[in-house]
Structure 1
Amino acid sequence: MDIIGYFASVFIGILLGLIGGGGSILTVPVLVYLFGLDTILSTTYSLFVVGTTSLVGSVFYFKRGQVDRITVLAFGIPSIAMVFFTRRFIVPAIPEHLFQINSFDITKSILFMLLFALLMIAAAYSMIKKQETSSVPVTKGKPNYIFLILQGLFVGIVTGVVGAGGGFLIIPALVNFLKLPMKTAVGTSLVIIAINSLTGFLFSLHGTEIEWKFLGIITLFAITGIFIGMALSKKINGKRLKPIFGWFVLVMGVFIVIKELFLT
């Protein structure tokens, strides 16, 4: 299972490099089901893996001038604030045992995995649904900063609770509402994901015992994957792969719901 987990880590990086988002949503299931880690610890590890991998990938977009710095600030500041609040106060405040239905005990771990499954299903819908295209060139208008701040707060909650980068939420917002070119949206998204995830990891270190060697190896595999993904993005249209990956994520999300509720 460990070997499969290492291959899956490379796959996560490939998806981040190829489509700019969505791949990170597989990190927690990989850590929980393939490496057998605790769910809450997996969300912390996921923040480091996703954040570091996204940071490496964003360097190339910075060099090409495909990162919108104003959007990063407008998104990043409220996101960081919400990640801090979520990881420091909300996650620790949730009790280990929530309630019981007959003989079935709903625990904190089960709750988090169910939330993650719902997020995966939402991400799958975002990737599967047909995007309308237009032949008319799109001009970038004045950013709606209120929308950016609200979106940043929501992404911060998602990142803080389940340890996912939220790229599937960020990229559509940047393209559809801010009219950023796709490449710039991907680069900007990677920077936002890196900031949110790494700060979330730092906020989670208090009282958490980190196995740095294992975490470093997983991250190295994911970074290798993002290099492969960025190389493939020059030859493969990531938009065409998104629906296929979306169906895969949907199946995974449904599987998690079934496993946590009926096979635990």
Structure 2
Amino acid sequence: MSTLLLALAAGGLVGVTLGALGGGGSILAVPALIYALGFTPVAATTASLVIVVLTSAAALPAHARDGHVRWRTGLLFAAAGAGPALLGGALAARLPPAVLTGAFALVAGAAAVRMLRRRPAADDDAPVRPGRAAAAGAGIGAVTGVLGVGGGFLAVPALTGVLGLRMRVAVGTGLVVLTVNGLAALGLRAGTVDTLDWAVVGPFVAAAVLGAWDGKRLAARVSGAVLRRAFAVLLLAVAALMLIDAVV
């Protein structure tokens, strides 16, 4: 299969995941860019941020129109995470690729386990505790900067588990966090953006944006519990593969 077709196929899968689950796009984009498209880990994490920021921004309006975005919560998360994302980006440049890959796998696995745990019914109108939201947002921002991911695969579990949002609202609100945190993390990676292979990244982004619309429609037809379990299984599978790669 040609590089262009691989980029289109991977981008479509990332977009569907992002549109349906509000996260997970970068956790698919990073391994796809490295193992299928031949990017270095540094280039892959930078390209992943570009892809997820653009795809999240494109998917956000549709979720907002459906009333599935808690703007105050999302912006509080994002504001708390912007500074740590910048610092994490600076730290990432000093870590060996194997360390980044292993850390990526461990964080993804922990998020998946958390999502698989049963939780009581949530109330979308419950008041948001600013302290808890800010603490969770700062942690997600730091991980975004270090691992070069949008943070959605952590933001959605945090929004459902820590703040008690229902899955569909967490999906829409998570897109706000992905967009802002991704932009912040790119702030210290600007020098590497110019060196990306845009003949691959461009089609990848285009397919991801189109796929996000299909993912949004999928989310409207599938229950939140099914989406959560699918997301968790996906994270566990990718985490296991990347951990093996890091230690072998």
Cα RMSD of the aligned pairs, angstroms, is 2.2
Identity %: 30
From 98, 116, 123, give the equivalent of 2:111.
123
Contact 1:52 1:198 in 2 (8 A): no
Q: CA deviation at 1:245?
A: 4.4
Q: Considering only CA atoms, is the larger Rg found in Structure 1 or Structure 2?
A: 1
Asked whether 1:112 is paired with 2:100, we answer: yes
Query: What residue number does 2:242 align with?
Result: 256
Query: What residue number does 2:18 align with?
Result: 16
Query: What residue number does 1:182 align with?
Result: 167
Contact 2:88 2:143 in 1 (8 A): no
Q: CA deviation at 1:249?
A: 3.0
Q: CA deviation at 1:64?
A: 3.0
Q: CA deviation at 1:181?
A: 3.9
Q: CA deviation at 1:160?
A: 0.7
Asked whether 1:193 is paired with 2:178, we answer: yes
Query: What residue number does 1:90 align with?
Result: 91
Using the alignment, how far apart are the partners of 2:243 and 2:129 within structure 1? 36
Q: TM-score, normalised by structure 2?
A: 0.88
Contact 1:14 1:225 in 2 (8 A): yes
Query: What residue number does 2:203 align with?
Result: 217
TM-aligned CA distance change 1:184 to 1:244, over 3 Å: closer
Query: What residue number does 2:36 align with?
Result: 34
Contact 1:22 1:123 in 2 (8 A): no
Using the alignment, how far apart are the partners of 2:91 and 2:117 within structure 1? 36
TM-aligned CA distance change 1:26 to 1:123, over 3 Å: farther
Q: CA deviation at 1:45?
A: 0.6
TM-aligned CA distance change 1:246 to 1:73, over 3 Å: closer
Structure 2 runs not aligned, ≥5 long: none
Using the alignment, how far apart are the partners of 2:167 and 2:228 within structure 1? 14
Contact 1:45 1:201 in 2 (8 A): no
TM-aligned CA distance change 1:207 to 1:216, over 3 Å: closer
| Aligned amino acid, residue 178 of structure 1 | L
| Aligned amino acid, residue 226 of structure 2 | R
Using the alignment, how far apart are the partners of 2:160 and 2:54 within structure 1? 24
Deviations 1:199-235 (A, max 9, x none): 3223311255233332221111111111111122222
Using the alignment, how far apart are the partners of 2:86 and 2:109 within structure 1? 25
Task: From the two aligned structures, give the one with the greater helix fraction.
Answer: 2
Deviations 1:156-183 (A, max 9, x none): 1111111222223222332344333433
| Aligned amino acid, residue 131 of structure 1 | R
Q: CA deviation at 1:63?
A: 2.4
TM-aligned CA distance change 1:67 to 1:234, over 3 Å: closer
Q: TM-score, normalised by structure 1?
A: 0.83
